[in-house]
């Protein structure tokens, strides 16, 4: 492999996202994990409403994506190389902030990085929906947020 694809923020949208908002880049494949890192090949990316807020140049619960940076996104991937001291192994399926790119090097100590073990009756993609961050947020936070609005 000599190159890979990533999608970066080209300009901040003034209203709607359009063809000028993002730029596709083909870059040299120079990704090498160190002892406590993993090289991950992206399988699935999550598209969540919060990503639109990350395009604005205002501080929120996460800093905005900067011009020229890879678009931030949760995703699922497979470890294709693990550093000698990594807690992960080649072939592990993981969830983390992969971003809009085919490959990424992630630190073992990244708090959002987790190994996924798919139980019977569940599809891998479910970890980006009902078994992922958005699904768990809806399950645990949603009822509390909706409570004042429930008709009795």
CATH number of the structural domain spanning residue 96 = 3.90.180.10
Phi-psi region of 117 (alpha: psi -120 to 50; beta: other; left: phi over 0): beta
Q: Give this prediction's pTM.
A: 0.86
pLDDT tens digits for 36-55?
Answer: 999 999 999 999 888 998 99
* Length in residues, the chain: 152
Query: Which pLDDT score, from 0 to 100, does residue 81 have?
Result: 97
Is residue 44 packed enough to be buried (19+ CB in 10 Å), middle (13-18) or exposed (0-12)? middle
Q: Are 106 and 40 in contact (CB under 8 A)?
A: yes
Who's near 63: CB < 8 A, 6+ residues apart? none
Residues of the chain with pLDDT under 70: 142-152
Query: Which pLDDT score, from 0 to 100, does residue 146 have?
Result: 53
126 in any annotated domain: no
86/89 Cα distance (integer angstroms): 7
Query: Which pLDDT score, from 0 to 100, does residue 141 have?
Result: 73
Range of the domain at 93: 3-118
Q: Are 11 and 23 in contact (CB under 8 A)?
A: no
78 in any annotated domain: yes
19 in any annotated domain: yes
10 in any annotated domain: yes
51 in any annotated domain: yes
- Residue 28 sits at φ, ψ, to 5 deg, of -60, 140
Domain count, the chain: 1
pLDDT tens digits for 17-28?
Answer: 999 999 999 999
């Amino acid at each position: 492999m000599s190159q890979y694809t990533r999608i970066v923020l080209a300009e901040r949208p003034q209203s709607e996202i359009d063809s000028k908002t993002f730029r596709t880049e083909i870059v040299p494949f120079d990704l090498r994990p160190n002892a406590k890192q993993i090289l991950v090949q992206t399988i699935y990316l999550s598209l969540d409403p919060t990503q639109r807020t990350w395009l604005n140049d205002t501080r929120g619960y996460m800093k905005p994506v900067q011009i020229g940076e890879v678009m931030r996104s949760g995703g699922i991937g497979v470890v294709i190389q693990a550093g000698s001291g990594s807690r992960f192994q080649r072939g592990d399926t993981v969830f983390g902030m992969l971003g809009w790119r085919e490959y990424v090097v992630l630190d073992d100590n990244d708090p959002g990085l987790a190994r996924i073990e798919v139980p019977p009756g569940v599809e891998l993609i479910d970890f980006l929906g009902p078994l992922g961050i958005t699904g768990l947020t809806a399950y645990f936070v949603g009822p509390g947020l909706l409570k004042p609005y429930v008709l009795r």
